[in-house]
Structure 1
């Protein structure tokens, strides 16, 4: 089947393209990109006038909950949610049941996504067996199975020696160690950011140093071993500064920030809103400012959602015991485009943080509209105005603090390997 996408404003940071071009897609691949391409023999012509045409968006931090927690989310519903948000590729975290620390679980995820999913799924496996922080997984076998990185997601590897050995082992396979940087001893049961708001609400605080001190250790171990380190969902100014300094020294470090950490502050917790409870917690206005500065100067490599779906029973409890996290795949794009509206990022930079750079971080062969590559394409209306209704989201979960928000910008069509996986009814 031959599809021609005409009249769109193409933004492809991988090729430094920013202008009006047409695309020809055939047999799931991009076969031509240029001006005024012929469409007479096409099976389908898509008029993208007034729309941005970008590489399919990539989210390198999602929780699909499959296998084991399918009542929260599964690979089908999670990738359907991804497609609705404009994402064509997601890297999924290993805290499933059983945890993804083996070849069989990795292959299950990949195969189910290929057979039933709406986006490419790239599994991330654990660093240690069972996420217990002691014995390392078989990294070579897992890379061969299709794993793109290693993380004990949600759990910090407390033993410096174990993490050092993991970095040495992973570097032999040119694979990243993906860190959830949070010292549990310093966190000490904190359920929101330590500070005035926590004191007023009578909630235990989680100080910024729980994250920053762990990042400092991990950076020094990466410097020692020469390993690739990726730091998840950074949230504090000091963390940004540490990573900026490490990059200047040549440390092989990348990092990501979530839309909620550059949009919301700890003030969102007022009223004990359990949908504003997450790990790491929402921080101060100054920390939010630091996230924006880090994105603007390139210290922060990618925007990633940490999409964390939960059943209503996991959230509809007291704040102290409510599960951490929110669903983010369907709100990430408009929140990222807000940074363009605010003048924090250019449009090209925002798209780069959602496509080319996350692909580079995980070495995923996506994030480009180059000729001969898979036709993973997102058509975006940056001016589309809509109100989020959590009950209408494609994900199984409803845990979002953005319910009822008026948003600007949305994916109008998502195409994965040339197949339309989502089309918005305007």
Structure 2
């Protein structure tokens, strides 16, 4: 039955609409057939946005709708089902935009008794949207405006309790940068498409979800048994980790260099590498194999950024500074971690470990092998709420323009834009 949290189908059958102009919240019930056709997550967002966003809508205007959606399997006991999708008309492209993020925001949002939240309009003053199982409120966010993402998340969780999960923008979103993302869990970010700028244009600092409503499935015993079996299969490969030990990285590299036939084989090795190193496991191998771009797409890893350099920012180099591991909701892989780099003139306190894309964008793409520089940039971007992929690509483009004489010292304020220059 649509709109019933006890339907036993893994969804609530309703979404929440928040109109920031009129400061009105309303619910829309969806029939079961909607989920059969569009599932949930991105499909749910795509259908409703298609129906409600008029052609020619300004992505930064009040008529654009920003959707936060969860999945059919979110909070059902299924593994690897803890991500949420943000969707809307992208200011960066003028077309469809979507981004997704892990952490713990998705289950908290779904426990508010909705499968998605769709935000339209714009507020004349900064606001945030608070949701729990009892409903929602549009609240004043004047004291949060200008805070970075970690500061804003910390203040909101102190206000609403530790079970509250926060998705927010930083200064980049407030300033409506088309590279702005939406951050959660102190370093997770729905980064692509400039959707953080859409939040900024709506004067929406954050969405806070603090729901406690249970999600029911038709056969919880079967879901539990399937998840238990899946977890057991994953854990059954731990013997490989013990066998390879510190040779795990070398074994994967050897198989990769052997070519396509071998790269199809080591799925378990790849999983173990992700568990041990996170996505940083791919950094050096990607530069070596040509998977990641080098020198603004004009170079080759084997000549411009060989292993002798890429290893300085690769998995084992990053692992030296790991402080603690963590995992996203319902994910047994636990590929997340925080890092700390003490000492030196610019010590780095605990921060989210850079992901593969950040290490590549500020590594091979700009020929930089200084890990401290990448750590600093990673923290700055996470706090600002900026997409590291777009930001790294922009910097690489600027360096090449400087190299070609298109940009000059007069354009850069006297800063020489050079490959591998950390200050650049």
On whether the aligned pair clears a TM of 0.5, the verdict is no
Range of TM-score over shorter length = under 0.3
Structure 1 or 2, whichever has the larger Rg, is 2
TM-score, normalised via structure 1 length = 0.26
TM-score, normalised via structure 2 length = 0.26
Choose between structure 1 and 2: higher strand proportion: 1
Choose between structure 1 and 2: higher helix proportion: 2
